Amino acid sequence: MDSRWIQGRIEEYSFYRLAKQILPKSEFPVLSYPIAKEFLMSSKMGSMREKMIPQFLYITKKEEQAIFDGTWNENTNYEHEIMKYGFYFVDVPLGCLDISFKSWFCDQIIDDMLKPYYTEDDGSICFSKRLLVKAVFCILHEYGHYVDYKKFNSKKELAMWIYKAKEPYRRIDTYVCKMNQEGHLTEELLLERRRVYRRCKDEYSADQYALGHLNEMIDKAIDIIWDEGDRINE
């Protein structure tokens, strides 16, 4: 089995399947978005794909609203009947993420942060390794949100912490919208908004968790893909 084989297998491997294999155990299931793959990849689904970000879903919009308007009750079941609580990932090949899910997978700030993990000693970059590193980072980032979730005594405490953490982002996002309406929006301003987002305490915490476990989980992911290939070829 040569390097070209493992590169091909990485690009064909399901993002959702990879998440199921490498996410640490928790009380929450690992789920795929409830849309058939053939429909998901349709050209007509572009706007919907942008919303299908990897996420740790532990609270609904209805529950968040109840927290902020003071009507939240910890004994009330706010869970959506279709989008159950859990970790969500799209069930598509890793090779599709770079093409069809650019809005969240092709973030230059994240890419720059991860370059040391996928750049070879001679400075060269393998496309499939870059794909794998970014995918593993996205998966671990969501588990980082779960790690923070476990630090709080209630969803209410966590929701209020995240709301405060995102205050800098809300400010710059409001300014970006204003500049856009006035016709003064620039690429640098959009980049600064992404920088501010990554510096928010909740996102920074999840990033640090992911980076701290990245090398270990990249090796695990490669072993899983390699071993599955061996079983296929037996």
Residue 143, classed as helix, strand or coil, is helix
Query: In the chain, pLDDT over 70 holds for what percent of residues?
Result: 90
- pTM for this entry: 0.90
What's CA 124's distance to the chain center, in Å?
Answer: 26
Statement: residue 45 has pLDDT above 70:
no
Domain layout of the chain by residue ranges: 3-233
SS3 for 88? strand
Tally the C-alpha atoms within 13 A of residue 166's C-alpha that lie toward its C-beta.
Answer: 10
Instruction: For the chain, count helices (H), then strands (E).
Output: 13, 3
Instruction: Enter the DSSP assignment of 145.
Output: H
30 membership: H or E segment, kind and range? strand 30-32
pLDDT confidence bin for 194, thresholds 50/70/90: very high
134-179 residue pLDDT tens: 999 999 999 999 999 999 999 999 999 999 999 999 999 999 999 9
Helix (H, G, I), strand (E, B) or coil at 217: helix
- The pLDDT tens digits of the residues spanning 210-232 come to 999 999 999 999 999 988 754 54
